[in-house]
Amino acid sequence: MRLVHQLSLLFAAVALAAVAAVAGLVGWNLRAGFSDYLQALDGEQLTRLMEVAERDLAQRGGAPDDWRPVLRGWLESARVVDGRGPQGERRFAGPADGPPPGVRGAGGDDRPPPPEGRQGPPPPPPRDPAQIGQRIVLLAADGVTPLAGRRETLNRPGQTRAVKLNGKTLGVLRLAERAGPAEGVDASFLRRQYTGLALVAGGVLVAALVLARLMAGRWAQPLAQAQAAARRIAAGEFGVRLPQPREGGASEIAALHADINAMAQALSTLETSRQRWIAELSHELRTPLAVLRGELEALADGLRPLGPAALASLQEEVRRLSRLVDDFHLLATSELRALPCVFEPVMPVALLQTAIERVAPRAQALGLVVDAALPPMLPTACWDAERIAQLLANLLENSLRYTEAPGRVQVSAHAVGAAIQIRVDDSPPGVPAADLGRLFDPLYRADPSRSRAFGGSGLGLAIARAIASAHGGRLHAEASALGGLAVVLSLPLAAQRGRDD
């Protein structure tokens, strides 16, 4: 299901549940409260009828022989008519000849039957909206024997009022409860309330559906944009960028757009690096291969004799090509997994002195001075001695290759907590601050001071960083106080794999 459909169903279900709960509570409360109100109203009507009955009996001076016409008179005097149906049916529940002469009606006049052969005017419609006439029963003084009224209502609960004369009970008026919660105009009132609740429920449901549609549209559009962008990125369009959602939207969607943009940027950078890597790799491999091909063609054409000099030149180009392939393999291995290392106790000072002694003759030939500011002792470390020797050789080789003569290279080391910090500083030329962070990228050379004209494959510092990372260390570059470049290496005494640079 689409988001708009799910939200619509959710909003509709919540709205219906809320309206149903409120409507049920209001309906139950209205029904119960209205029933109490109707009972109180019945009690008032019954009390007024009792008062009318006591006044009539006081005028009569005693109990009549036939209570049925008397009850009808009481009902009319209390303005409650004993109607039995719609307009046109009989108005009284008594005998077919109507009320006997002498019983006063609601208007206070005597109503004799019309003359023989002459039809009187039709009786007015019954006025008994509460249907008291259909629920009233007159009982004898014992409160059990019915004297008049609808006896079938005796099986329903009701209210009673004693009719007394001079303190003596002559009868008991009993008004049965309504058959339902309301009858007549009262039922119409309840129906109107229930109809209103139903209309409110329908209005709330429609509003919930409209709101769900609006909210779904507000959320679905940026999600659809994110989906389309993800598909384009998967197809290789790394230049795709998503706009920031408008204010007031969901923060999760804004974060999703930002993450997709960051992913696209990272993939674009990675793709650019990959393309540059392939271009540089092909160039680096092409140079020694071209030299080898030229040498071999010259030998084959007889332009150059096959002698010790030619063989030495060929061997040098093969060694250069082998070193390049080995360096690329080493870097590829470090990208896939941590470099394989054999950790064993080593003496850091001894490793540094050995590395300096190896480059000292070459430095002297280049017109450079190598200073060693080393303490007499450093804590024993658990490193891969061969890898660390390679790392130090790469750092020193980088300084020798790019430092102008006469110049100076200074190596220093000291313990910092549970780590050893090694610095290799050199004299000018330096490296622009903007290029310091990229010196450790494979095949990167800062121009113009450290161009390819100085030799090297551009992989030495990248390999050094990979070795440092395999030992849980850090390697970074900064400006040197000597005017050139300073490479700072920090290695823990106990190697910790998995630590980032």
Q: What is the pLDDT of residues 390-427, one digit of tens each?
A: 899 889 988 998 899 899 999 999 999 899 999 999 99
Tell me the average pLDDT of the chain: 78
In this prediction, residue 499 has a pLDDT band, given cuts at 50, 70 and 90, of: very low
pLDDT at 24: 77
- Which is higher by pLDDT, 316 or 365? 365
Read off the pLDDT of residues 344-388 as tens digits, 9 standing for 90 and up.
Answer: 999 999 999 999 999 988 899 999 999 998 998 899 999 999 889
In this prediction, residue 296 has a pLDDT band, given cuts at 50, 70 and 90, of: confident
pLDDT at 70: 84
Q: What is the SS3 assignment for 391?
A: helix
Q: Span 462-480, mean pLDDT?
A: 90
Q: Span 114-135, mean pLDDT?
A: 62
Q: Closest Cα to residue 24, out of 191, 189, 183, 194?
A: 194
Looking at 125-134, 232-241, 428-437, which range is the least confident one?
Answer: 125-134
The alpha carbon of 221 is separated from its chain's Cα centroid by a whole number of angstroms, namely 16
Q: What is the 3-state secondary structure (H, E, C) of 278-310?
A: HHHHHHHHHHHHHHHHHHHHHHHCCCCCCCHHH
Residue holding tokens 């080493």?
330
**Under a CB-based contact definition with an 8 Å cutoff, are residues 440 and 461 in contact?**
yes
Read off the pLDDT of residues 152-170 as tens digits, 9 standing for 90 and up.
Answer: 888 888 889 898 888 888 8
In this prediction, residue 102 has a pLDDT band, given cuts at 50, 70 and 90, of: very low
Read off the pLDDT of residues 70-79 as tens digits, 9 standing for 90 and up.
Answer: 888 888 877 6
Percent of the chain scoring above 70 in pLDDT: 78
Residue holding tokens 């291995």?
333
Residue holding tokens 């309301």?
182
140: left (phi over 0), alpha (psi -120 to 50) or beta: beta
Residue 92 per-residue DSSP state: -
pLDDT at 496: 67
What's the CA gap between 166 and 6, in Å, rounded?
77
Helix (H) or strand (E) holding 392: helix 385-402
Percent of the chain scoring above 90 in pLDDT: 16
Q: Is the pLDDT of residue 501 over 60?
A: no
Q: Is the pLDDT of residue 137 over 50?
A: yes
The alpha carbon of 90 is separated from its chain's Cα centroid by a whole number of angstroms, namely 72
In this prediction, residue 88 has a pLDDT band, given cuts at 50, 70 and 90, of: very low
Tell me the CB-side half-sphere exposure of residue 313, using CA atoms within 13 A.
16
What's the CA gap between 501 and 490, in Å, rounded?
10
Residue 179 per-residue DSSP state: S
User: CA separation (Å) from 24 to 13, 44, 198?
Assistant: 16, 30, 11
Length of the chain: 501
Q: What is the 3-state secondary structure (H, E, C) of 413-460?
A: EEEECCEEEEEEEECCCCCCHHHHHHCCCCCCCCCCCCCHHHCCCCCH
Tokens of 227: 């989906």
Q: Closest Cα to residue 460, out of 401, 405, 404?
A: 401
Tokens of 215: 């909210």
Q: What is the SS3 assignment for 35?
A: helix
pLDDT at 478: 93
pLDDT at 98: 40
Q: Span 19-37, mean pLDDT?
A: 74
In this prediction, residue 249 has a pLDDT band, given cuts at 50, 70 and 90, of: low
* DSSP string across 217-278: HHHHHHHHHHHHHHHHHHTT-TT--PPPPPTTS-HHHHHHHHHHHHHHHHHHHHHHHHHHHH
Q: Is the dihedral of CA 63, 91, 155, 158 positive or negative?
A: negative
Q: Is the pLDDT of residue 245 over 50?
A: yes
Question: Using CA atoms in the order 376, 379, 383, 388, what is the torsion angle rounded to 10 degrees?
Answer: -30
Q: Is the pLDDT of residue 99 over 50?
A: no
- Which is higher by pLDDT, 138 or 113? 138
Residue holding tokens 């689409």?
2
Read off the pLDDT of residues 209-238 as tens digits, 9 standing for 90 and up.
Answer: 787 777 777 777 788 888 888 998 888 888
* 477, β-bridge pairs: 487
pLDDT at 411: 94
In this prediction, residue 129 has a pLDDT band, given cuts at 50, 70 and 90, of: low
Domains of the chain from N-terminus onward:
3-110+125-186 (no CATH), 251-336 (1.10.287.130), 344-492 (3.30.565.10)
Q: What single-letter amino acid sits at 385?
A: A
Q: What single-letter amino acid sits at 460?
A: G
In this prediction, residue 246 has a pLDDT band, given cuts at 50, 70 and 90, of: low
What's the CA gap between 148 and 160, in Å, rounded?
14
Which of the residue ranges 180-184, 400-404, 496-500 has the most confident prediction, judged by mean pLDDT?
400-404
Q: Span 125-142, mean pLDDT?
A: 77
Q: Closest Cα to residue 423, out of 392, 461, 465?
A: 392
Looking at 104-108, 110-114, 285-289, 408-412, which range is the least confident one?
Answer: 104-108
What's the CA gap between 30 and 277, in Å, rounded?
81
